């Protein structure tokens, strides 16, 4: 089964008339996602690829009940859009917008926590459960998604949206399918991270192993290692940690806003050591991901 969303999840798109949202809405529809309505203030009565547009979330949900929202609006407007979704009962929010002001992110994440709502992002390409649902821009056009992803027993959680698809494609060409693939987001402060997703994968009877794509910076991986040990997580985890060179250049950001090392905190060396101590397999190369998974789930070449 999928975590977070499946083929029955009904979705609205906030900011649907924007260029980016118009494009990924088409791709979501093409993949079979149930996009039931869109929201852009002042655009009531329009439609995007056949999806009706409303001025407010409340209007949209009155006509088209939904459980999830994908938000694609300018950074200064994200907080207002997220709070509107939260106030109207949305249970899953995917924020594709990047560089959202940190204070704004903290504010709407606190409300989401109070309401027990899952937030993916900001600065995420979204998530995919192969052959079931696609939220956001994950995987790109439908043709590419169908080539890169296939159903199976391996979950993926990645700090890089692009690498989510790269890992899925690697697994697919080696005959290993995926259950749910999530790009957690590259901003310094995001909603659901590895700590939130691993327990969901652990509870999913169809996920038999998980691949993590990790980067320098932040302490989530270090906390995950402690959590895996303390909670006796049984689902095998294979981690690939990119950007090891960043350890030697402290205080400099590479790529994502969250990819920055300060002192010993967030270094790849520390993450690797803690992962190994917790029994998490650290892949030295992409090919190691495949070989490790074959050991865990018994997929033959």
What's the confidence (pLDDT) of residue 271? 93
Q: Give how far the C-alpha of residue 273 lies from the chain's centroid of Cα atoms, to the nearest Å.
A: 25
What's the confidence (pLDDT) of residue 159? 92
Inter-residue contact 100 to 74 (CB < 8 Å) = no
Question: CB within 8 A of 299, min separation 6: which ones?
Answer: 174, 175, 176, 293
Q: Give how far the C-alpha of residue 175 lies from the chain's centroid of Cα atoms, to the nearest Å.
A: 23
What's the confidence (pLDDT) of residue 262? 55
List the 10-14 sheet strands across, edge first: 47-48, 51-54, 34-39, 10-14, 68-71, 92-95, 118-120
Given the residues 49, 64, 131, 256, the one annotated as active site? 256
What's the confidence (pLDDT) of residue 248? 47
Measured N-to-C along each axis, helices 161-173 and 286-297 cross at an angle, to the nearest 10 degrees, of 60
pTM comes to: 0.93
According to the 3-state scheme, what is the secondary structure of 88-121?
A: CCCCEEEECCCCCCHHHHHHHHHHHHHCCCEEEC
Please report, for the chain, the start and end positions of each structural domain, with discontinuous segments joined by +: 10-297
Q: pLDDT by residue for the chain (301 residues), tens digit each? A: 689 999 999 999 999 999 999 999 999 999 999 999 999 999 999 999 999 999 999 999 999 999 999 999 999 999 999 999 999 999 999 999 999 999 999 999 999 999 999 999 999 999 999 999 999 999 999 999 999 999 999 999 999 999 999 999 999 999 999 999 999 998 889 999 999 999 999 999 999 999 999 988 888 999 999 999 999 999 999 999 986 545 445 554 455 444 455 556 678 889 999 999 999 999 999 889 999 999 998 755 5
Task: Look at domain 10-297 and name its CATH class.
Answer: alpha beta
What's the confidence (pLDDT) of residue 187? 86
Number of CB atoms found within 10 A of residue 177's CB: 17
What's the confidence (pLDDT) of residue 258? 46
Exposure string (b/e) for 137-173, b if CB count within 10 Å is 16 or more? Answer: bbbbebeebeebbbebbbbbbbbbbebbbbbbbbbbe
Element (H, E) at 62: helix 57-63
Q: Which residues does residue 158 pair with via DSSP β-bridges, in sequence order?
A: 183, 213
Is 256 tagged catalytic? yes
What's the confidence (pLDDT) of residue 242? 87
What's the confidence (pLDDT) of residue 267? 85
What's the confidence (pLDDT) of residue 203? 97
């Amino acid at each position: 089964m999928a975590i977070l969303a499946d083929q029955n999840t009904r979705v609205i798109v906030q900011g649907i008339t924007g260029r980016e949202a118009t494009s990924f809405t088409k791709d979501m529809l093409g993949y079979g996602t149930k996009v039931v309505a869109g929201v852009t203030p002042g655009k009531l009565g329009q439609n995007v690829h056949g999806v009706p547009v409303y001025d407010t979330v409340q209007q949209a949900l009155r006509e088209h009940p939904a459980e999830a929202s994908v938000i694609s609006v300018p950074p200064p407007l994200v907080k207002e859009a997220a709070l509107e979704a939260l106030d109207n009962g949305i249970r899953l929010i995917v924020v594709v917008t990047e560089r959202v002001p940190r204070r704004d992110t903290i504010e709407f994440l606190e409300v989401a926590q109070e309401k027990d709502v899952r937030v993916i992002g900001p600065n995420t390409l979204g998530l995919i459960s192969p052959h079931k649902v696609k939220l956001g821009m994950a995987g790109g056009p439908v043709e590419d998604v169908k080539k890169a992803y296939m159903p199976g027993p391996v979950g993926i959680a990645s700090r890089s949206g692009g690498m989510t698809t790269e890992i899925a494609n690697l697994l697919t060409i080696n005959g290993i399918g995926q259950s749910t693939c999530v790009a957690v987001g590259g901003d310094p402060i995001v909603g659901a991270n590895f700590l939130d997703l691993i327990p969901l994968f652990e509870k999913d009877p169809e996920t038999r192993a998980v691949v993590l794509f990790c980067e320098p910076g932040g302490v989530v991986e270090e906390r995950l290692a402690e959590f895996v040990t303390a909670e006796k997580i049984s689902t095998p985890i294979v981690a690939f940690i990119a950007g090891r060179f960043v350890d030697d250049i402290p205080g400099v950001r590479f790529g994502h806003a969250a990819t920055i090392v300060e002192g010993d905190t967030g270094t790849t060396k520390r993450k690797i050591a803690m992962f190994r101590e917790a029994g998490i397999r650290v892949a030295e190369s992409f090919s190691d991901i495949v070989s490790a998974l074959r050991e865990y789930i018994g997929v033959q070449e």
